[in-house]
């Protein structure tokens, strides 16, 4: 199974053909608690009535993997390695990557900067 990131969730709810095609091909997709939080935050601050409730119902279709102590250790390594190499990505993406690596999974994303994280396999859609 693969873990989808926030941009995939957004693209899927917006009916992006690439995201829909991927989801139809692979039915056992999961996400992370960080992506769920980002996704719900975007819905919460949206001016579209009812979007937050729709987003919560939408997320119910995905098993959500939590950020735990093993992911915390991996996050520290990822963030330190990126800082030392002069690369920087968002802390949210570092946290998401840590959860993905902790579970030995790959991430489904269109964010190319995730490829800078050592050991993280990124599956485009």
Q: pLDDT at residue 1 above 90?
A: no
At 21-38, the pLDDT tens digits run: 999 999 899 999 999 999
At 36-68, the pLDDT tens digits run: 999 999 999 998 899 999 999 999 999 999 999
Q: Mean per-residue pLDDT for 95-120?
A: 96
Residue 113, phi then psi, degrees to nearest 5: -65, -15
Per-residue model confidence (pLDDT) at position 88: 86
Per-residue model confidence (pLDDT) at position 63: 97
Per-residue model confidence (pLDDT) at position 60: 96
CA dist 74 to 34, 68, 79, 99, Å? 15, 10, 9, 8
Domain count, the chain: 1
Report the chain's mean pLDDT, rounded to a whole number. 96
CATH number of the domain that residue 71 is part of:
3.40.50.1010
> Are 74 and 98 spatial neighbours (Cβ–Cβ below 8 Å)?
yes
Structural domain that includes position 60: 3-123
Q: Mean per-residue pLDDT for 99-124?
A: 96
Per the document, the length of the chain is: 125
* Stretch (H or E) spanning 30: strand 30-32
Cβ neighbours of residue 86 closer than 8 Å, sequence gap 6 or more: none
Percent of the chain whose predicted confidence (pLDDT) is above 70: 99
């Amino acid at each position: 199974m693969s873990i989808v990131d926030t941009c995939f969730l957004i693209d899927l709810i917006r009916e992006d053909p690439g995201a829909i095609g991927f989801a139809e091909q692979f039915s056992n997709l999961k996400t992370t608690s960080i992506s769920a939080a980002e996704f719900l935050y975007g819905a919460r601050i949206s001016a579209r009535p009812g979007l937050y409730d729709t987003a919560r119902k939408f997320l119910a279709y995905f098993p959500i993997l939590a950020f735990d102590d093993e992911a915390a250790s991996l996050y520290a390594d990822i963030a330190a390695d990126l800082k030392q190499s002069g690369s920087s990505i968002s802390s949210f993406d570092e946290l998401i990557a840590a959860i993905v690596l902790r579970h030995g999974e790959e991430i489904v994303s269109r964010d190319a900067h995730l490829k800078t994280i050592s050991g993280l396999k990124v599956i485009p859609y």
